[in-house]
Structure 1
């Protein structure tokens, strides 16, 4: 695992989240507003130890627009998984892609990761589009039943192996 301070690009600032509870609340709002048919409320969602939570903010550092979580660290493989979300007011403006490129460059170059993965519900077209814009390739498919609705769910497993082509 690593210590994360902050990164910035032309429009965004990435910083460690100062408050896990508000991060979780904003993430739930994002999921409920953007994809209500996909994301059912978890009974008691909590972050697992070892997860790194990162805020996506405007470059000025004001309010949180979205976030990343980095988890599933594997020291022997130099690999991790990340997830992302964005609040409704900021969707469709390229913030997640810009922030994602910044974070991926950091993970591959500064943290010497050799593999970064993400998992996206196939029904979440926006998340799938972000994964593709970030240069991830589909590596596998997961299927199972939603624990709450018992609906059949299909998720795509994406992977990326280097920072090539991540120009900001």
Structure 2
């Protein structure tokens, strides 16, 4: 496994690649310290794919890219995989409610389960779970913190300039 730190405007993202696929992208300050320590022991090792992922993230954060097109491998339950695929269908700059996402994936009564799947999204930013909000328009939760979620949503609306 290869991993790297990407210094985003919102803090470091830890990315991991395994067998030519991105398998992990999380905010460093939200990761279990033991996992970070193990990776630190192994030392950061960059790869062609991680270099490309960092390039695409830079383009995303500087308003030059709306989607990240990277090979990825997701491990989750069948419902999580379905919900994460639904997240990828939400257009840049738009939001969808948890209920709306549940409806979109054909599980109309599973809004809470959608929220739970979002919480376990292994590829923050790459799979845009920040685009899902509460039915009343409030932000709802975000594993990276609601301040980051608000910033990402404003950035995608064109309101944040770096």
TM over 0.5: no
Q: Flag the structure with higher strand content.
A: 1
Q: Flag the structure with higher helix content.
A: 2
Q: TM-score, normalised by structure 1?
A: 0.27
Q: TM-score, normalised by structure 2?
A: 0.28
